[in-house]
A and B are shown apart, each in its own frame.
Chain A
Amino acid sequence: MNYAELFCQSHFSFLQGASSPAELVTQAAALGYQALAITDECSVAGVVRAYRCINEQQLALKLIVGSMFKLDKLQLVLLCPDKNAYSELCRVITNARRRSSKGDYQLTEWDLMSVKHCFILWFPSADDDSDQYWAKWLQKYQTGRLWLAMRRHLSHNEQEFSDYCQQLALQYQLPLICCGAVLMHVPERLALQHCVSAIRVGKPIRELGRELLSNAERALRPLAKLAKLFPQNWLTETSAIAKRCSFNLSELKYQYPAELVPEGETASSYLQKLVQEGSKKRFADGVPPRVQALIDKELTLIRELNYEYFFLTIHDVVQFAQSRQILYQGRGSAANSVVCYCLQITAVDPRQIQVLFERFLSKERQEPPDIDVDFEHERREEVIQYLYQKYGRERAALAATVISYRFKSALRDVGKALGLPVSQLDFLIKNIQRRDSATSWQQQLGALGLDSNSQTTCQLVQLVEELRGFPRHLSQHVGGFVISEGPLYELVPVENAAMADRTVIQWDKDDLETLELLKVDILALGMLTAIRKCFSLVQQHYQRSLSIAGINALGDDPAVFQMIQHADTVGLFQIESRAQMSMLPRLKPACYYDLVVQIAIVRPGPIQGDMVHPYLKRRNGIEPVSYPSPEVEQVLSRTMGVPIFQEQVIALAMVAAGFTGGEADQLRRAMASWKKTGELLQFKDKLINGMLNRGYQLEFAERIYQQICGFGEYGFPESHSASFAVLAYISAWLKHYYPAAFYTALLNSLPMGFYSPSQLLQDAKRHNVAVLPVCVNGSFWDYDLQPQSQEYAIRLGLRQVKGLSAAGAALLLKHRPAAGYSQLSQVRQAGLNRADLQALASANALIAISGDRYNSRWQLLDKQHSLPLFADETECNPIAIADETFNTKAHPALAETSSGYNLSTLQRGQLAAPTAIEEVLEDYAATGLSLQQHPIALLRQAGKLPRSVPAAALTEVRHKSPVRISGLVTLRQRPGTAAGVTFLSLEDETGTANVVVWLATAQAQQQAFLTAQILQVDGILEREGEVTHVIAGRLTDLSAELAAFATKSRDFH
């Protein structure tokens, strides 16, 4: 018997379908279905996954692309018999989606009238009026491609409905077919289907009652059962329809925009010409023969793989950025090519690191070219707008990102559906330690007070596991653009994103890869903004013109690398984190490629693969460099025989475990989606057995597998590290030679990086850069360089003042007299609102004109001065007016207290000036930083910190000796890679000390450990080379000593 299921919704019909497209096609094939139509609601988001699964597993099943729609009481499915029908479907979906906000759609009759190619399955609604109307309507517009679809789900009164439908079919001469309206691939998914239904309506399952499916008949059912349920001719008709559907997704071909190539040129010749022109600029003294050979080789490969348009598109984008002086940097496997260097897509010079350029593109690896371009984060929007403008919204759109259920979201939603109280769920979510590998989360549930044998708990566990990885909604990719020659909606439906004026296609980057469609990644990077701002400051104040390529051309600077080796890297790109800082003195990077390794090594991949120590040993000459085989040597020679990069691990899978190019590509994809799907396990046996068979050690193979899993958590390929290393070096160079400009640029580009303005400015002070306080007369919106005794000092910007609006600051600056404000009334007259004025006073920005912050605020609070009549009144004699307007006689008690008050003190200094501690607290509250004394210094002076050693003096303390330190907790970090250890950073007036807290120590003193903002630690000092740690013993919470301290530490990032 031949049967094709023509109505089947996957989990891309969000919170309706309870099975993935892959599960559905696999099960349909197993049941012997001839074809399966994936018909998600107004969406084709799931079809590519089904297509990929059929191809990968060689299933004998035809995939039909379609979609289900609802319009009031009308429900129908459109199916695509051919490519024209497919384009039509994409257009209908696009129109319906674009009419609505994100996630919704709105179909109109016009959409349906315009359908000329798609097959239509119609589902009557049992409402006679509506059915009569639509039957007539559909027959009028869509005859010949229209079927009446029958369903049987063993629900009540089914027979009557069936009779009614057959009557309709007779009346309007419609052919009948049957279908399953499938939502699950197996009946066992019923519980999950109930669960997602409950999530959709936001009520617990038990309250839904009859709104839930009454049985599991909406699963894919065996043919034998279908034969019992439906007449033979209905079943045969499905098969006939399936035969007429010949459209295959592989027919989709991407047409690149033709306008990139001038007339009279081919894409290939034009690319060659651009590369040639570029090479003259890049290699002023002539292209070295070795490089020329590489260029030729790359161009040949690009021609063979038909990637010219891809490179031309990116070239066009970076040309635009250049013309607008937007800083950018390309990265990714294809970016590290001489072609990209010549096209000015990247600044990585092939002469600097020849080793990278061998691995540009390869036919064997079957992976698509990968170029991401980072732009200044504040100006990326200009680039995006350029693309929209150049290609139009019809031809350019962002790729989607499928937002999937992760553990926490799954637990929360399933818990709600099972009726657990929200506060209990919050509690569970906060307290389940996913990193605790010793006890699974299921076991932890028991420890957290859930009865592990109860039915609800068992259901919770099962449903959470099933729901994880389910898509929740489509979101926009961070910057992946798809650009085409014709309208995109003929290729793939386009829908609205959450952001206004953004549109996304319904496929994500994996889907695009499957169909071999290329995307262009337009990303944002804060450090590029900072570097560009620093370049302009240097140009403005030091009259020196800088560029990334220019600094690179100066060659590796030993002074800069020395600074890096001493871990003096606060504010630098990629190597400023605490983990990086503690690695720098050990790895001692001395050249560009060392930085590439440095950036990649402090990542989950190499750490979980236990590759860090072997690399350090070999680098320091403690262990000899050796290779298990010549093939491995070829892969690992540049990292001394230790695999560090993701590319190396994939290459190892090929040379050492015998993976084919296609398998290696699958492995790469599995790594990318490891967190979502856990697909990596399937490669474990193949990898380990493959390596054992080829004579490698089991232990080595296991470590490689662990490393692969680590990359799965946070993939980091060499091709990206190489581009990041350039920026890391540039930022280090700037910090070394132009520190004041560097910090200023960084502060003006926040938020980015690891450090707060307070920490950056303290670092600046340690580098002998003077910092001036925020001031109504001195500050601009941004931080600024201002001359001070032959040097430049950093002047705090108004942007640092909490609560000051940008509009208020603009008014302040606009009306600022050349000589500056001299009276408070002038500032008032500038038109700032009350909140802005208060914010300025709190930040002590008014000290030059109205005294300390308390008294400035006090004067500002006075309502009479904001009345127009009093606007010109000077601040000095408010009391006279007050006495007239406020009749104290009516309040004898008040008169009593005020009579003792000395009126003369009620003028300027009405309130007591803030104390030193109050000043610091106010500074932190108003600007998040203080240029006055460090709070710890105040405590030290007050004698509250007996025997505490300042951070800077820790170098004097002997290894393994007991020590006491105190400081502000600026960081609590529990890296996933260091089991049970938390790293604390304690900041005092001299610098930052690193504290290591073991799990047991933390547990025994949880209160101080978790909640202290100022912490005193008694412990043992440990030193390894230049790296100093204090291993915590006793923790004492000193927060109460500086009550209401406003700085919060960054917890557990």
Chain B
Amino acid sequence: MALFLYLHFPALQLDHLQLSAQSSKLPVALVDQQHQLLQINAAAINAGLKLKMGLASAAALCPDLQLLPYQPEQQAKVLHSVAQQLYQVSSDIALDKPAGLILRLDGMLQLYGGLEPYWQALSAKLTALTYRYQYSCGATPYAAKCLAYQQAGLITADNRLFNNALNSSPLSATELIPAMQLQMTRLGIHTLGQLQALPPAELARRFDSQLLSYLGRLRGDYYHALEYLQPEPGFSRYLELLYDISDSTVLVKPLATLLQQLEQQLSQANCQCYQLLLSLFFRDNPPLKLSIGSAQGEYKAQAWLALCQLQLENLPLPEPVYGLQLDVNHFAGQQHSTAALFNQHQARMSALQLISLLQARLGRAAVTGLTILNQHLPEHASLRSLPLLKGDLVDNQTKAQVQAQVLALRPAFLFNKPQPLTEAVTINQGPERLCPDGWQLAAQRDYFIGRNQQGQWLWLYRTANQQWFVHGLFS
């Protein structure tokens, strides 16, 4: 007989946030778009707050309540990571978003030699995770879920216990939509027991198939398909060197072996990866960890090796290396299709490849792009950004407007810090007056275009108290 365990995490996102914040003394609540409380912490419960309470009453009851928005994607990530971690002790785990996990147990019982030892292992793992949870076993996923919602906590395979508990379950613990629950209440039907006592034929004449399909799955009459979690692929290999290597360039050869293996695995999965983690192990010193990235994604060992070489070239080693470890946490995307057979050798590398190369050589921080921002003040009108990133001008209308404005004459070179004007200039155009914002009228600047004795075109400004600065140079 099949046996399922349902784990319900009533406040997953909040608990997760609190883990990192470590400030559980303050009452905190997550609210949804309708300003209802969805998750609350212990301090908030103590203040008398309840789930589904409106923001107004909540605020009145507990004025120092901290509010955070409920983010389903965030919670889904946490749920996924919980499942990943439980995967170490239990194999068949299905995600039941937004806050539940369904574990199929019958396979595991043999492995652990019974329910009791299995539950011990699992609950130890759960306790370590520190998220609040409710649980129960059940003969079907829905039965376990319904019981877990009521915090039944049944760890058993006894069908009689299940049935008793299910029969007295309120409809609010079921999967029936609220409208259906209301309809049942208004027929005087409040529990699953009352509902199940009605002949299915009579129900079929009155309600849609959803109800019958729910009841069927609840009882196990209908098959309930579950999609079990697949462990995430990744690459992790350790290579002990045959002899210690003290010249970093010599490391390339053993590394090539590892990269070959990686390429093989990537090819099998038709994937590529964006980042490698290379660890070098020493006898006395702690291991040295290098991260090597490729902006466009790569799977070829040759390409990766070239990038690694660049990093290794200038790397001083504190002592000889005795082992290498190569880790790739995420495989991603599809491999690029190979270039057409008769294509000429066009540009040797793509822009992305060039950037990877520059970054490997100069360091990540040294390579940036430039984006135009929608701001009046010159120092705010552009921004260093990731290379090759398109600007943040979102909608087309503003884009057009901004483009018209950008056509305003602006110098190609802007000083980081404006220089005081020290030479004689002749003013050619201006003034253009700019205020930093509505609050700093005194900080307004009048910009002019002028020319110095050498014939350079300068971008100048005058402050409110008549001081002159050079802010940029026209090319």
Contact surface of A with B, Cβ cutoff 8 Å? 153-159, 187-188, 190-195, 205, 207-212, 214-217, 421, 423-424, 426-427, 430-431, 447-449, 459, 842, 853-854, 857-858, 861-864, 878-879, 882-883, 885-886, 888, 891-894, 897-898, 901, 906, 910-914, 918, 922, 925, 1006-1007, 1010-1011, 1044
Contact = CB atoms under 8 A, between A and B. Distances in A.
Contacts of A893: 216, 219-221
Contacts of A882: 199, 201-202, 204-205
Interface string B424-448: 0000010111110111010010100
24 contacts: A187-B441, A188-B441, A194-B438, A210-B374, A210-B402, A210-B405, A212-B376, A215-B434, A216-B438, A424-B67, A426-B55, A427-B55, A427-B67, A430-B59, A842-B186, A857-B187, A861-B187, A882-B199, A891-B221, A892-B221, A898-B201, A1006-B60, A1006-B61, A1007-B48
B376 A159 contact: no
A864 B204 CA distance: 10
Given A208-B374, A430-B60, A897-B196, 12 more contacts: A156-B409, A205-B438, A209-B376, A210-B402, A214-B435, A426-B35, A427-B55, A427-B59, A861-B187, A862-B205, A862-B206, A1006-B48
Interface in B204-243: 204-207, 216, 219-221
Contact of B187 (A430, A449, A854, A888): A854
Interface in B372-392: 373-376
A854 B188 contact: yes
Given A210-B376, A430-B59, A157 B409 contact: yes
Nearest to B408: A156
B63 interface: yes
B24 interface: no
A105 B263 CA distance: 66
A226 to B, nearest CB: 15
B186 A1010 contact: no
Contacts of A211: 374, 398, 401
Contact of B55 (A208, A212, A430, A1010): A430
A891 B375 CA distance: 69
B197 interface: yes
Contacts of A918: 188
A210 B398 CA distance: 9
Given A214-B435, A886-B204, A888-B201, A912 B60 contact: no
Contacts of A894: 199-200, 221
Contacts, number: 165
Interface in B52-103: 53, 55-57, 59-61, 63-64, 66-67, 69
Contact of A911 (B63, B188, B207, B376): B188
Interface string B119-162: 00000000000000000000000000000000000000000000
A421 B433 CA distance: 32
Contacts of B473: none
B356 to A, nearest CB: 33
A447 B63 contact: yes
B5 interface: no
Contacts of A862: 205-206
B280 interface: no
B438 A431 contact: no
Nearest to B56: A430
A210 B438 contact: no
B189 interface: yes
A20 B55 CA distance: 36
A217 B432 CA distance: 11
B409 A1010 contact: no
A922 B186 contact: yes
B138 to A, nearest CB: 15
Contacts of A194: 437-438
A878 B408 contact: no
Contacts of A912: 188
B408 to A, nearest CB: 4
Given A187-B441, A214-B433, A423 B69 contact: yes
A858 B206 CA distance: 8
B31 interface: yes
Contacts of B199: 882, 894, 897-898, 901, 906
Nearest to B380: A209
B224 to A, nearest CB: 14
A190 B438 contact: yes
Contacts of B188: 854, 911-914, 918
Identify which of A156, A448, A878 gathers the most chain B CB atoms within 10 Å of its CB: A156
Given A191-B438, A216-B441, A154 B433 contact: yes
Contacts of A459: 439
A420 to B, nearest CB: 12
A190 B434 CA distance: 12
- List 8 tightest A-B contacts by C-beta distance, closest first: A191-B438, A209-B374, A154-B433, A861-B206, A156-B408, A886-B201, A898-B199, A1007-B48
Identify which of B48, B186, B219 gathers the most chain A CB atoms within 10 Å of its CB: B186
B197 A897 contact: yes
A844 to B, nearest CB: 12
A156 B405 CA distance: 8
Contacts of A154: 431-433, 446
B408 A217 contact: no
A157 B408 contact: yes
A214 B67 CA distance: 36
Given A430-B59, A910-B202, A156 B375 contact: no
B205 A878 contact: yes
Contacts of B57: 1010-1011
Contacts of A861: 187, 205-207
B35 A423 contact: yes
Given A210-B374, A212-B376, A423-B35, A857 B186 contact: yes
A431 B60 contact: yes
B30 to A, nearest CB: 11
A669 B290 CA distance: 77
A209 B408 CA distance: 15
B371 to A, nearest CB: 13
A190 B207 contact: no
B405 A1007 contact: no
B172 to A, nearest CB: 10
Contacts of B31: 423
Contact of A901 (B197, B205, B409, B435): B197
Contacts of A906: 199, 202
A214 B221 contact: no
Nearest to A427: B59
Contacts of B201: 879, 882-883, 885-886, 888, 898
B61 A1007 contact: yes
A448 B207 CA distance: 49
A708 to B, nearest CB: 33
B64 A858 contact: no
Nearest to A153: B433
Contacts of B66: 449
A110 B216 CA distance: 71
A355 to B, nearest CB: 47
Contacts of B207: 861
B373 to A, nearest CB: 7
A191 B436 CA distance: 11
A423 B219 CA distance: 43
Nearest to A853: B186
B35 A214 contact: no
A888 B212 CA distance: 13
B145 to A, nearest CB: 19
A1006 B435 CA distance: 49
Contacts of B446: 154
A296 B6 CA distance: 91
Contacts of B35: 423, 426
B304 to A, nearest CB: 41
B21 to A, nearest CB: 16
B47 to A, nearest CB: 9
Contacts of A913: 188
B200 A886 contact: yes
